[in-house]
Each structure stands twice: as structure tokens, then as C-alpha cells.
């Protein structure tokens, strides 16, 4: 199972999280986010973090030019689209970045959002389901209705996000079977400051 820890802002925390067993680290490239890292900061982070984990940049309604420039500057291995990006935009980005993983995040408010996910099946490499919040794009700490996701079996890999913590991860995985999980606020002291004790507990829970 893929384990992505998102909102990394500090090199030493990123290294420790990779050592615990994370398969991907996420970096927020949205300037309005409290977890934002600039392209220059991101470049330095990636240069000093182990290349054994995927390095995913998270964007929201950014221009294709900005995304392409950031990928070129920082050598990200993946791009996560967390805004209102259309399937057509995803296809264009995939054509421009054929060797980069494209992840489309969907904020699930109603079952309609699950139906709408079908439009992305042939446009991206991976889906990510997050909890809906009217004013926040991610890191909300809100959980999804896991029972409602029990029958979600898309033809491409998908990651579960939204309010996951070391204390509820096994409950969630007992109800649904995603290809991976994505945590941010559930393993933090404050936005961008990861609580390594919580991260360690997460991996201990996953081993039980």
C-alpha cells in the first residue's frame, strides 16, 4: 500500500518520515496554504530528501505553465491537482509530462462526486478522494463517509485522504480497500509541522 504524507515543509521531518516507511511525500505548491513551500524551497527540500520516495507537488487551479515550470525546476516525480481542474486540463498536462504521475484529487461532498470521478479515469494516473470543505482545499481534518466508499472500485489506483489519523486508520481500512492513504493534519502539531510520534504510531498501527 502506498503511504503518502502530505504538507512536508522541513527537511529533517521529511527524512524521518521516509525512514518510517512512507512511499511518497507531498509538498503544497498553493501560495494561500499555511503549508506552502515556494519553488526554491521545494527544490532544496527535494535535493536533500531521499529519492527512494515519490515527491508529489500539490497544486490547485494553477496554470499549466506554472506547473510545468515548477516540475522542471524542482524535479518532482508527481503532480497532484487539488482544485477544479477539468479532464481536458489533466489530459493536456499528462501529454506535457508523460513521465510524471498525475493525481487528481476529488473533494467528496455527495455521491454525485463519485459519479463525476468517472470522467477522470482515462485522464490521470491516480485518483485521490478527500473530504469536502467549503473554504479549504485539503488538510481539513474531516473524514469521509467510509461506508459510502465501500463499492468504489475505479479502474485506476486511488488514494484515501480526509481526516485520517493513527487512531482511525485501521477502522477506515477495515471498511474500504484503497491502493494507498494520504495523511496531513492527522499527523501534525500545527500546519506544516509534523508530529513524528504520530507518524511513528501510524506505521505501527498499519503493521497490526
- C-alpha 154/C-alpha 151 separation (Å) is 9
Q: Write down the catalytic residue from 29, 90, 123, 130.
A: 130
Q: What is the dihedral of CA 154, 159, 165, 168, to 10 degrees?
A: 20
Residue 197, Cα to own-chain centre: how many angstroms?
A: 21
- C-alpha 80/C-alpha 57 separation (Å) is 6
Q: Write down the catalytic residue from 6, 29, 90, 123.
A: 6
- C-alpha 85/C-alpha 62 separation (Å) is 9
Residue 31 vs residues 37, 105, 137, 186: alpha-carbon distances, Å: 8, 18, 12, 21
- C-alpha 96/C-alpha 92 separation (Å) is 6
> Catalytic residue at 130?
yes
> Catalytic residue at 6?
yes
Residues near 53 by beta carbon (within 8 Å), at least 6 away in sequence: 18, 22, 23, 24, 25
| Active-site amino acid positions | 6, 130
Amino acid at each position: 500500500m502506498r503511504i503518502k504524507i502530505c504538507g512536508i515543509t522541513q527537511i529533517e521531518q521529511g527524512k524521518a518520515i521516509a525512514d518510517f516507511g512512507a512511499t511518497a511525500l507531498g509538498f503544497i505548491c498553493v501560495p494561500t496554504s499555511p503549508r506552502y513551500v515556494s519553488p526554491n524551497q521545494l527544490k532544496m527540500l527535494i535535493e536533500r530528501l531521499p529519492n527512494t520516495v515519490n515527491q508529489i507537488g500539490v497544486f490547485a487551479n494553477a496554470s499549466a505553465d506554472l506547473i510545468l515550470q515548477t516540475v522542471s525546476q524542482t524535479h518532482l516525480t508527481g503532480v497532484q491537482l487539488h482544485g477544479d481542474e477539468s479532464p481536458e486540463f489533466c489530459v493536456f498536462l499528462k501529454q506535457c509530462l508523460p513521465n510524471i504521475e498525475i493525481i487528481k484529487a476529488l473533494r467528496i461532498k455527495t455521491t454525485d462526486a463519485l459519479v463525476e470521478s468517472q470522467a477522470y479515469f482515462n485522464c490521470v494516473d491516480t485518483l485521490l478522494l478527500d473530504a469536502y470543505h467549503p473554504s479549504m482545499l485539503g488538510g481539513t481534518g474531516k473524514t469521509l463517509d467510509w461506508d459510502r466508499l465501500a463499492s468504489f472500485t475505479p479502474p485506476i489506483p486511488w488514494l484515501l485522504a480526509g481526516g485520517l489519523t493513527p487512531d482511525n486508520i485501521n477502522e477506515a481500512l477495515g471498511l474500504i480497500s484503497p491502493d494507498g492513504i494520504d495523511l496531513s493534519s492527522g499527523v501534525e502539531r500545527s500546519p506544516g509541522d509534523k508530529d513524528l510520534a504520530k507518524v511513528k504510531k501510524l506505521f505501527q498501527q498499519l503493521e497490526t
